[in-house]
Structure 1
């Protein structure tokens, strides 16, 4: 891949088993400078981490970043000003940014009976509003440098099968899916492509043993997808050979058969 020299903002970089972490690590290995964002309190809320690890030297070392190539900010993207602040910090640290990968999400396992206005508003703020504001701020700051701009969003599988136990999450991920061609059209004349990845069932440490087993049986390879495989799909869309690919949703599901039990 020919990514060396790019500068990327990558959101959702916190837990070592997360997709955002895998993306940041892959980009750094490819010679990309990375300004990362994470929000450890959400990991702690979901029982997936205690927070604070992103500030450790070990975290940077595992990513493969250095002072010259990597920075990390703990920012709550539910706050309206956080997207602009993240892009400001990236520009201050690295100058021009030509790549935006939005791997953050508020997970929400609320079914219809548990649904609340509070949870709907929070999922909207984190998953959709912040993504749109991040894209807006990125586009405002973007200056064509010959490499072409890249935006990669993340959706889930809600367009392929029901997700009735995760209604706020499914609704907001569906919004990002539907927004992909619209954002592509808005930015294509500025030399920026916009695409979206559905990584399929990905083992980031959140699933129960029973769910891990049943989903594994529904995948031809007999196992869940990995965060590194999701990062590989992102890398494909960032490469210069994908310059003509825009407005697309990539279902990288490895043949997931949803109705196998």
Structure 2
């Protein structure tokens, strides 16, 4: 009998499902570091591997984008907050790496928890390389990357037959610098682009994509706090998205998506 809370016969339905799955997590050993992805924000997006790691660690090194509800799962761990949110005080990357090495050499069971996926604009590759050079045993636990799961949560399919044959994941952090992407070349592909860390440079990125030949009417959207109860979405055109996002008061962290796949949101919602 279900009483409306998900309880059946004294066991939760999720416990019953896990029992049927027969999931056996690997053990996090002392002196090891696991680089884990927390997904886009909603705790429901955690993988079983990441969830199990949080229950095993005694040291949790986590980013600003990780939900407090997810951090709370690591009830037996010492917490090390390192920031990593654009425009906010954060520990330097070299210091984070040094912290991971120190904790591992102290014999701690370490989880390094990041928003999204560690290997998608999360600097997980840099941390993994540093650990390898220091002969620290490590493992990478994938998370749902925000660039794709945020689209799903917003009702936008990342790929759609007849619309696109690829999707481009890009960082907007360096827009306008010597280290910038060639946005005009990206525009010429005609494929949708999902931009991480681009809110501060949205006017510049939009202008560059327009200069690259994308029509001003190209659908565009900004998604803030994807998959959470604070999620906000602004849909506009490439020509107006920067202005409309600013008018709505949207700020980082946010994802920007540009391309005809954005128009599918209204179609899937049954809007005219």
Q: Structure 2-normalised TM-score?
A: 0.35
Taking CA–CA contacts closer than 8 Å with sequence separation of 6 or more, which of the two structures ends up with the larger relative contact order?
1
Q: Which has the higher strand share?
A: 2
The structure that has the greater radius of gyration is 2
Q: Which has the higher helix share?
A: 1
Q: Structure 1-normalised TM-score?
A: 0.36
